[in-house]
Homo-oligomer: A and B are copies of this chain.
């Protein structure tokens, strides 16, 4: 069993981009600081897609310039194309030599329909754009993460051939991505499916090259994470409080909530480097910033316990 699991936080990017409200830069930085204070060491916090596409993240240039550096903390920003990469590099230049460590991330869907609705390109056209991103990013000393969305089902096409997902993941790794995160964009995946896909993929890759980005749209995210843990994976994406979804995937509410993931991991004895209490503080902050209750279940249970003044539910106590 893996002693350490990396929780990859996507709230400030995947989460906030799906909020109707556009948070001011200062509040985004407040959220990032709370997540870092909780001990998260991977935080996705910006997107260099066109500001017209996603106004919520239009200030990603200034955000990246302002991210607080920390020795163990790596940020990640989405970079879909050459102009996006230029923006990321300019922001990093502005931040200077003592600025934050920021990786780039590229994304493609496993289904043509979802990919077209997401980025208005075929999958092959998307990879053609990657040629202008991944190689130059690596040459500039950046690390690049890849995403395969709709890896366990597409809201438009239905079932997705695992062979296609595996081929796309291998193609991203061959380009030089250090890790590929398999996204269950609309939460259709179930454990046997995840097990089969991982079994085939891990015959060709190392476990640290693969992450899972499960959505909890139908309540199955942690069961699928459990299958990933058993297959040897040690990186799982989640969003504070369950912020966000996918604006181009109808019905795709339900990023896995970071608190739910961490509660399970701590209860199972994994090391995460995360403070449970400070993580819940970050979830409470996220709720205040977006002005509504978030769907994360462990967050709500813990906040109810705090309000009642009861002993908190310590995940470590239930090992």
Contacts and interface: CB of A to CB of B under 8 A. Distances in A.
A267 B190 contact: yes
A115 to B, nearest CB: 18
Contact of A250 (B219, B268, B296, B304): B304
B318 A155 contact: no
Contacts of A313: 153, 155, 186, 188, 218, 251
A193 B223 contact: no
Q: How many copies does the complex hold?
A: 2
A192 interface: yes
Contacts of A263: 190, 218-220
Interface string A286-319: 0000000000111011001100101101110111
Contacts of A298: 217-219
B251 A193 contact: no
Interface residues of A, number: 53
Contacts of A155: 310, 313
Contacts of A153: 313, 317-318
18 contacts: A153-B313, A155-B313, A158-B318, A187-B297, A189-B318, A193-B318, A217-B297, A217-B298, A218-B263, A218-B264, A218-B298, A218-B301, A220-B222, A220-B260, A250-B305, A250-B310, A251-B308, A254-B297
Interface of A: 152-153, 155, 158-159, 186-193, 216-223, 225-227, 250-251, 253-254, 256-257, 259-260, 263-264, 267-269, 296-298, 300-301, 304-305, 308, 310-311, 313-315, 317-319
